[in-house]
Amino acid sequence: MEVTAGYLGGTKFEIRARAHRLICDQPADHGGQDAGPTPPEFLLASLAGCAAFYAAEYLNTRHLAASDLSVRVTAEKTKSPARLASFLIEVTAPSLDERHQAGILRAVKSCLIHNTLLHQPNVDVTLRSAAIAPAA
C-alpha cells in the first residue's frame, strides 16, 4: 500500500491514494483554510470506515439489514508526546439478537485499522534530499 502527500502551500496538502485525490488541511483557527480534514480526522475516518466495512460484511453475509448501519469514532488528544490516546468506536446497527450483537462486535474488532492501533507497528522515518551544490 502507498499514499503520498504533496504540499499545496499554507497548511494544505493533496493526498493521493491510487487514483483518488483528497485534500488535507487545518481549520481556520489553526491557520488553515479548512479545505479538508486534518491528519487526525483522516485517522479517525480510516478507523470508522474499516469498522463499518467489517460490520457491513458481517450483516450482509448473514442476510441481515445493514441499511441503518453507522459507525462513529471519537478520540481524545494527549500530550508528551502529542498523540491520540483513547479511541471509542460506536456501532449503530439494526435490532439484533444477542448472538448477532456479539458477532458484529467480533467482526469490528477484526478490522485491519483496529488491529494496527492495538499492536504497535514499526514506523521508520527516512529523508531523501537532493545534494546541495557547493558554493562557487
Cα 44 to Cα 21, 75, 80, 108, 128, distances in angstroms: 18, 8, 20, 14, 29
Inform me whether the pLDDT recorded for 135 exceeds 80. Answer: no
Cell of 54: 467489517
What class does CATH assign to 38-118?
A: alpha beta
Q: How confident is the model at residue 131 (pLDDT cuts 50, 70, 90)?
A: confident
pTM across the whole model: 0.89
Residue 46's nearest CA partner among 101, 1, 102 is: 1
**How large is the average pLDDT for residues 99-119?**
95
Query: What percent of the chain shows pLDDT beyond 90?
Result: 88
Q: For cell 448501519, what's the residue? A: 69
Residue 85's nearest CA partner among 47, 49, 117 is: 117
